[in-house]
C-alpha cells in the first residue's frame, strides 16, 4: 500500500458553466469526507478567476483514491458535470515537514 498524500485538483469550468460545476462539486464534499481513508476534502474557488475551482484532498493511499474515483458519488459527478469542465489537473504532494 502506498503512503498518505495530499492532492490538489484544479478544475476550470467552460465559459458560462461555473455555477453548474460548483453545484456538482459541492455535492461531492460530504460523501467524499465520509469515505474511509479521506483526511480532508475541501472545495475552494479562485478569487481572481471564478471559473477555477480547487479541491484540497488528503488520502491515506493510492488505493483509497482509486476507490474514491470509482465511488457512486464520483461517478455521478463525472456523468452529470464532466461536460462542464474545460481543464482538469491533479497534483499529488508528499508532506516533507
Measured in whole angstroms, the distance separating CA 7 from the mean position of its chain's CA atoms is 8
Number of domains in the chain: 1
C-alpha cell of residue 50: 471564478
pLDDT tens for 19-68 read 999 999 999 999 999 999 999 999 999 999 999 999 999 999 999 999 99
The sign one gets for the Cα dihedral 19, 84, 21, 80 is positive
pLDDT band at 2 (very low <50, low <70, confident <90, very high): confident
Domain housing 63: 5-93
Distance CA 94, CA 82 (A): 28
The enclosing domain of 38 has a CATH number of: 3.30.70.100
Classify the C-alpha dihedral 70-77-6-13 as positive or negative: positive
Could you tell me the pTM of the whole model?
0.94
For 78-92, write each residue's pLDDT tens digit: 999 999 999 999 999
pLDDT at 1 over 70: no
Amino acid at each position: 500500500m502506498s503512503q498518505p498524500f495530499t492532492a490538489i485538483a484544479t478544475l476550470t469550468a467552460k465559459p458560462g458553466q461555473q455555477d453548474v460545476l460548483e453545484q456538482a462539486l459541492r455535492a461531492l464534499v460530504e460523501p467524499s469526507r465520509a469515505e474511509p481513508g479521506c483526511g480532508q476534502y475541501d472545495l475552494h474557488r479562485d478569487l481572481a478567476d471564478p471559473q477555477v475551482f480547487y479541491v484540497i484532498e488528503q488520502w491515506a493511499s493510492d488505493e483509497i483514491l482509486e476507490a474514491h474515483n470509482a465511488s457512486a458519488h464520483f461517478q455521478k459527478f463525472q456523468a452529470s458535470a464532466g461536460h462542464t469542465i474545460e481543464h482538469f489537473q491533479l497534483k499529488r504532494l508528499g508532506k516533507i515537514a
